[in-house]
Structure formats: C-alpha cells, structure tokens
Structure 1
Amino acid sequence: MLTQRALLFRLAQLGGLFLMACLGLFDLANGLSNSGDVVLLQVLSAIATAVVWLRRHRQGSTRLPKVAMALAGFSLLLTIAVGGADHGGSYGVAEAVGLLGVLFVVSRRGDPQWAIGAVLATGMALGFLPLRSGPDSGMVILGLAQGLAGTAVIGLGVYLRTLEATRVRAMDTVRAEQRAEFARDLHDFIAHHVTGIVVQAQGARFIAEQDPKRVLLALEQIEAAGAETMASMRRMVGVLRDPNAQPDAPLTPLAGVDELSPLLEQFTSSGGPLARLHLDGSTEGVPVEVSTSAYRVVMEALTNIRRHAQGARVADVWVRRTPDWLLVRVANDGLPPKAGTPREAPGYGLVGLQERVRAVGGRITAGPGIDGGWVVDAALPLDQEVTR
C-alpha cells in the first residue's frame, strides 16, 4: 500500500506526464507540416527524458547523471544541427519540460561527483533550446527564463536531498544511541554476575575444608551464573561493539519485565490512562537482553500513549511467554487520528525500539487497532536458534 507521500508523488508524476503529452501533441501539430524530421527528433528526446524522471532511482546513483549527460548532449547537438533556422515549428516545449524533470531527479538523487556535470550540461541544453527557432531577442529571453526555471528546480531538488540526509543522520544517531544504551545494559548485567561469581568463589575457598557439600552448591551457582553470562555475551558481542564506549561508566540497576508493575503504577498515578498488566507465563529465567528490551518497548509505548492517544482511558499491557518467544503487546482505546489532521512532528522513539528489538533477533510492529486506538506488538526470541 502506498503512503500518502508516495501517492502524492505518483500523482505529480502522472500530472507531469500528461502535461508533456499535451505539449508533445502541440509540437507535432506545429512542426510536422514544415520540418517533420526535426520535430520527431524533439518528441523522441522528450520521451527519453520522461523515461528518466519517471523511473525510481536509488540515492547516490551514478547511472542517472550519466544518462542525463547523454540526453543533454543529444539535445545540444540537435540545437546546433538546427542552427537557429526558422523551420516553422515549435522549438520543443515538451522536451523543455522533460529536461526540467531530469534536472530535478539528478539534483535529488544523483551521485554528487557526477551530478554537478550533469546539472550543468542539462541546464545548458535547457537554456539554449529556444534558439532552435532563431536567435532573436524573444527566444533569447525565453531561454533565460527557462534557465531560471531550471535553477529553481535544482534548488528544490537539493533542498529535498538535504532534508532526507538530515532525517537519515537523525535516525542513525538514534540507532547508535539505542545500541550504546543496550551495550551499557549488557555491561551492567555482566558486571553484576561476574561480581557474584567472584564472591561465591571466594566463599567456596573459605569453607572448602569445613563443609565440602556447601562447596558443591556454590560451584553449581557459579556454573549457572557463568553459563547465563556467556550465553548473553555470545548473543550480543559483535552486534553492539562501540569504539567510543566508556567501560568505567557508572552501573545502574537493570529494569526488566519484573519491573513492569511499578512502571504501570507510576504511569497511572502521574495522570495517564489506567494501565493494566496481563501476564501469561513465568518471567523467571528470561535472558537479560530480552527482559530489558521488553521493558523498553512497554515504556516507549506508554510514552506515546500519553503524547498521542487522545481520549484514551485504558492502556493494556500483555506479556506472554511461549517456549521460544516472549510476546509483548501494548494497546489503548484512544481515538485514531483523523485523515488529514496535522500531527506533531514525529520523533524517533519507534526507530530506537526497532533497533533494540532487531539487535536481539526480534521484530516489532505498530499501527491502528481493529477496534480503534493504537497497538504495538513485539516478539522477542528466548533462544537465538529460533530466529535462524
């Protein structure tokens, strides 16, 4: 399904294509009787430009500006070949509109190293185009006007390119911050368990001669703690490497699924909708990275409910444990946003959640519920083998 933005873009493309078709018919009607070969070449060039700006191009494409330079070269050669002779037809209005479209997509999507040359060549072709009808003052002024229009189109393309680059950088920053936060959580967990292992080992050495049976119990606890720590490290090391991490950062208590009840109570007591927790299955033995991720999913979802769920009275949180997965759902009964209603500028909370959930091999979705409101669903694997 196309988003509203993509739909508007497609409609704009269709509108431009319809305009070019009408102008192409105008060129044909005014040129076939006097200079059929020239006008056919002009229409062919216009069709070639439409093929370029109608296609979807990846950002930083090198092929796009190369094709644009080839089209600009063909247009300039045709202008030189006509030589300013009055052939009694249109100079190629449809081709001019097509070149404007090429200027836009090149400045919007083209590789920067190639785009500069392509923009200059296409701008020259656009500005010299009216000279096909003669080098009189009217055609020169028209050429200057087309050059100014091309400059405006280039500015629009560069502006949209800058906006997208800013958005991508912001999303990358959020992802990096989320991964760094996750790394700190893992650091806290490992530090806690390693400290416990050291303490238990020291105690076992102290009581070894007095009560050997208690030594066996301590060794079992050390084994369990070490196995849990190594399992978490195997799942996460290589995924969360950060060369700028500070290993001496202060330790903070980890919040997981067992701390959801206080979180919901605090949410309700601070003026939010009534938050209800529904647990299905035991939370004992849930891997720490899964537990903390589930907690963060619920916390971010509750924050969004407070900010965006108008009229919400209840926020339900379901946590269900299956043999392989920890399933989390957060839903509210607020009013869905009306179509066309302006909303606040979107943040990047969901982007951070997607990065955190993806880091543990899970998946997350968010969207309007069947009965209204908004629903966030997350599936977190208890064992990495189930995601392979």
Structure 2
Amino acid sequence: MPLRWVTMLTQRLLLLRLGQLAALFLMACLGLFDLANGMTNSGSFVLIQILTAIATAVVWLPRHRQGSKRLPKVALALGIGSLLLTMVLTGDSGTGGSYGLAETVGLLGVLFVVSRRGDAQWAVGGVLAVSMALGFLPLRSGLDYEMVIVGLIQGLAATAVIGLGVYLRNIEATRRRAMDSVRAEQRAEFARDLHDFIAHHVTGIVIQAQGARFVAEQDPKRVLLALEQIEAAGAETMASMRRMVGVLRDPEAKPDAPLTPLAGVDELGPLLEQFTNSGGPLARLHLDGSTTGVPVEVSTSAYRVVMEALTNIRRHAQGARVADVWVRRTPDWLLVRVANDGLPPRAPATREAPGYGLVGLQERVRAVGGRITAGPGIDGGWVVDAALPLDQEVTR
C-alpha cells in the first residue's frame, strides 16, 4: 500500500478516535451535571440510569462493519429498555430533576451509528425504538408541557441524526457502486484485450509454422529455430491467458464486443504528440533501453498508465507547462513515470473526484503483477510511477 494512502488512513482513524474521545468527555460532563442537579428518582434507579448511559457508549464506540445485523438488534434492545425505564420513572412521579442528559447524547450516538452502519432490515426497528426512547425521555422529569416540548425537540434532533447517518450511508454506497462499475468495465476491457493477445500470439505462431514448412527442405537447422520461437510464443500466450482470465469476474462480458488495435510503448510518441497538439502542456518522451520484445500485456498496460496520467494532467494539473514521460527498461522491469510541473490537486477536488481512473489502472497493473503509486512530487507537481514485471518470476 502506498505511503500516501497509509498516511490518509491513519489521519482518518486519528480524527475518528479524537471525535469519540470528545463525545465520551461530553457524556462524562453531562453525567456529572445529571448527578449534581439531582436525578428524577432515588435509590437503585439512579444506578440503572447511569448504567444505561454507559451502555449507549459501549454500543457506538466500537467500529462496526457495514451491514451489521448485531448492531441494530442491540440498539433495539437498548431503546426498549430505555422506554421501559421511562415508563417506570414517569409512574413513580419524578421530582423535576435532570432526566438524563448523558443518556440522551448516548442514544443520539447509537441512532447515528445504526443509521450509518446497521443492516437495512433490522435498522428500521432499532431506529424506531431509539427515536421513541429519545422523544419520551424528558417525561421522566414530569408530564408538564415544558418536558413535552423538550421531548419534541429531542425527536427533531433524532430525525436530523438519522438523516445525517443515511446521507453518509448513501455516499458510501454510491462510491462503492461507482468503483464496482469501474472494475466491471475494466474487466470487460480485459476480455477484449485477451482476444487481442491470443490473436496476436497465435497469428505469429501460424506464420512461423508456415515458414518452417517452406524452409524444412532447404535448411533443416532453421526449422529448429522456428520451433523454438513457436514454443516461446505458445508459452507466452498461455501465460497471458492465465493472468487475464484470472482477473475476469463478470460472466456477462461479451466476447464479440468491438475490438480496438493494440497500443503499446511503441505508440507513446504519437500519443504524446496528439496530447500536445490538442492544447495540453508540452509532452516529452524519455526512453532508456530498448522496447523490443516487451510482453504485449506489459506494453499495453504501460500505454494505458501514460494515457490515464496525461488525462489527469489535462483535468487537474493547474498551470502545468510540461509533462515528462520516462520509460526505462531494466533486466526484470519496465518502469514508467509521468510527471508534470503544475500545482497538485487541491484537497476538496480530491474528495469530490475519488479517482476512479486510478482504480481501473490498479486493476490492470495488478493483473500483470506490477505496482503503481501516485502522489505529489518532491519538486511540486504530480507524479505517477508504475513498475511492470517483464518476467512473472520476479513477482513471485
């Protein structure tokens, strides 16, 4: 995982924990306020109210997985328990003291977590129970109209919390669907590329086999060379097919979809020239090493990395004047770097556009056993680095 992503994840977890600590501190202060101003009852009921407030924190404090069934069930039991306690305390004619502000905040936290993470079927019951508990909670201090109004206000607050939880839930669901759609499109493209890969290799095998027939009588030694080339091409075809089929997960992908010609590292020159002529920054290509004999799937993946990086430069790199593309070949790897001298994307833009193109590139690069990272450059701008193995043995 790239260091930038680890840093972002760590920051989010830190903010989450700080928010939880702040909420716990608020509940502790409100709990002391409740005790200082006198609870609405005496005896063992005070302990029950304190335990109920603590139970709410135990429910919303842990990190729950999306679609949890246990979470709304626990919330349902907690809401019903709070309602029963309210009925008992109301019948016991409260003294007008604090009805439990700490428990109120805790129930709001439970309501948010259930709306955000709970299983959709069970969440309805849990939300209704906790909402009713919040609305009736002030009646512990008496049945006068002031407490009724406070109950209505808490009901409105519960509605707002539910709306916030559902809103964040929908945002995450939309993002997940978008990423799944990108991956599905990428896999459909893999299916088309698989057809091209096999056609490319098999055509070469057929041509070499036909040539071997004609030279067999004149120069038998050349037949051995042709057979070696046929064997190598066949092995490469099988390796490409295994890697690509391993990625395909969509059974509805159409094998007869329109095909496009294979584009690889040898076509990067025209791509950069087209990018510059269409009004983009000056694109410069730097080649280090020969591109002869690069596996077809590696070559096309490198081309797609450069193409996506140039597209992002056009969209997001404000003030970029130059886009440099380095392609370096080592004995085991094909290294690709795309950098620009513009301003890095601003944080709000990054949140609004979560980078679905990068998700597709990760799928493609992973399919050939490679790695890809993207982030701000040391001297400014934005840098995309990809390492693609020329031999699958180096990734094992």
TM-score (norm 2): 0.88
Letter of the structure 1 residue corresponding to residue 306 of structure 2: V
Moved more, 76-85 or 108-117: 76-85
The answer to whether the aligner puts 1:54 opposite 2:97 as a matched pair is no
Q: Per-residue deviation at 1:374?
A: 0.5
Which residue of 249, 256, 260 corresponds with 2:257?
249
- The answer (yes or no) to whether the contact 2:197–2:240 under 8 Å persists in 1 is no
Amino acid at match of 1:362: G
State the secondary structure of the residue aligned to 1:83. Answer: helix
Amino acid at match of 2:153: A
Report the equivalent of 1:325.
333
Question: Counterparts of 1:17 and 1:363 in 2: how far apart (Å)?
Answer: 42
The reply on whether 1:228 has 2:261 as its aligned counterpart is: no
User: Given the alignment, which residue of 121, 125, 130 partners 1:113?
Assistant: 121
State the partner residue of 2:344: 336
Q: Deviations over 1:54-90 (max 9, x none)?
A: 3322211223223322322332232233234123421
2:39–2:98 Cα contact (<8 Å) kept? no
- The 2-side partners of 1:356 and 1:296 are apart by 9
Secondary structure of the corresponding residue to residue 238 of structure 1: helix
Unpaired runs of 5+ residues, structure 2, are 1-6
Write the distance in 2 (CA, Å) between the matches of 1:241 and 1:19. Answer: 48
Within a 5 Å distance, the mapping from 1:38-53 to structure 2 comes to 38-53=45-60
Distance 1:328 1:278 in 2: 10
Q: Evaluate the alpha carbon distance shift between residue 332 and residue 292 of structure 1 in structure 2; reply closer, same or farther with a 3 A threshold.
A: same
1:350 equivalenced with 2:358 (yes/no):
yes
Runs (5+) with no aligned partner, structure 1: none
Q: Distance in 1 between matches of 2:347 and 2:248?
A: 39
2:391 alignment counterpart = 383
Q: Could you tell me how far apart the structure 2 residues matched to 1:340 and 1:184 are?
A: 36
Cα separation, 2, equivalents of 1:358 and 1:144: 55
Q: Determine the C-alpha separation between the residues in 1 that align with 2:351 and 2:33.
A: 44
SS for the counterpart of 2:38 is helix
Provide the residue aligned with 1:83 in structure 2.
90
Q: Are 2:347 and 1:362 equivalent residues in the alignment?
A: no
1:25 corresponds to 2:15: no
Identity of aligned residues (%): 86
Structure 1 residues 267 and 116 mapped into 2: Cα distance closer, same or farther (>3 Å)? same
* Correspondence for 2:165: 157
> How far apart are 1:337 and its partner, in Å?
4.4
Contact 2:205 2:230 in 1 (8 A): yes
Residue 318 of structure 2 is matched in structure 1 by: 310
CA distance in 1, matches of 2:82, 2:191: 57
Change (3 A) 1:118 1:344: closer
TM-score, normalised by the number of residues in structure 1: 0.90
Q: What corresponds to 2:151 in structure 1?
A: 143
Deviation at 1:114, TM superposition (A): 2.1
Q: Out of 133, 140, 143, which is 1:125 matched to? A: 133
Distance 2:40 2:128 in 1: 34
Pairwise CA distance, 1:263 = 1.3
Could you tell me how far apart the structure 1 residues matched to 2:219 and 2:384 are?
Answer: 53
Q: CA deviation at 1:151?
A: 1.9
Offset of residue 225 of structure 1? 2.2
Relative to structure 1, the CA distance from residue 293 to residue 342 in structure 2 (aligned partners, 3 Å threshold; closer, same or farther) is closer
Tell me which moved more, 280-289 or 338-347: 338-347
Q: Post-superposition shift, 1:367?
A: 0.8
Give the AA of the match of 1:65. P
Distance across 2 between alignment mates of 1:330 and 1:8? 33
- The CA deviation at 1:311 is 1.5
2:294 is the counterpart of 1:286: yes
CA distance in 1 between counterparts of 2:351 and 2:127 reads: 36
